Amino acid sequence: MRFLVMIIAWVMSMTLLTGGEKMFVKSPAFENGGEIPAKYGCHGEDVSIPLEFGNIPDGTKSLALIMEDPDAPMGLFVHWVIYNMPATVRGLPEGVPPAPELEYGIRQGINDFGKIGYGGPCPPDRPHRYFIRLFALDVPLPLEPGIDRNTLLAAMKDHLLAEAELMGIYPR
């Protein structure tokens, strides 16, 4: 009984700390688990997907985002690395330019196409899943523009407050 009371107290305290809502990332272009429109891939305009963020936890100093394809024939393929977004940012518009540095100190890294910024879905063999992962961090990261996914993940170690995920499927 005492253990149950402790669990209930912990859950209630976590609800108060987080406002009861988990951080999220979503897109007005498709539902979680749904099909990513061709416009955002190599068969369309290859412009970045519009995204919305919410329920960013207290204490967040910066946000980072990684878009990756775990179904690529050669293993994980990175499509977008973006970091040092201010904690006040609540999304990204469609068509973020492929610049190493954007306004407000936002920086973009290199994708596995070898380019800075967004590289849209382009599966060579069959429909693939694309995961867009948003990270809330307790510090801005002291990283130059143009870093890769692994460098970003290493820099985020010990600074992660919350993580959210959106998954979309892009057909062949």
With beta carbons less than 8 A apart as the criterion, state whether 119 and 46 touch: yes
Mean pLDDT, consecutive 10-residue stretches, the chain (172 aa), reads 36 45 98 98 97 98 99 97 98 98 98 98 96 99 98 98 99 86
Any idea what the Cα angle at residue 68 is, between residues 62 and 72, rounded to 5°? 170
DSSP state of 103: G
Can you give the residue ranges of every domain in the chain? 19-170
pTM, 2 dp: 0.88
Multiple choice CATH, 19-170, 3.40.50.300, 3.90.280.10, 3.40.47.10, 3.40.50.360 = 3.90.280.10
Compute how many other C-beta atoms are within 10 angstroms of the C-beta atom of residue 92.
24
What's the CA gap between 10 and 72, in Å, rounded? Answer: 41
Compute how many other C-beta atoms are within 10 angstroms of the C-beta atom of residue 146.
14
Using DSSP, state whether 8 is helix, strand or coil.
helix
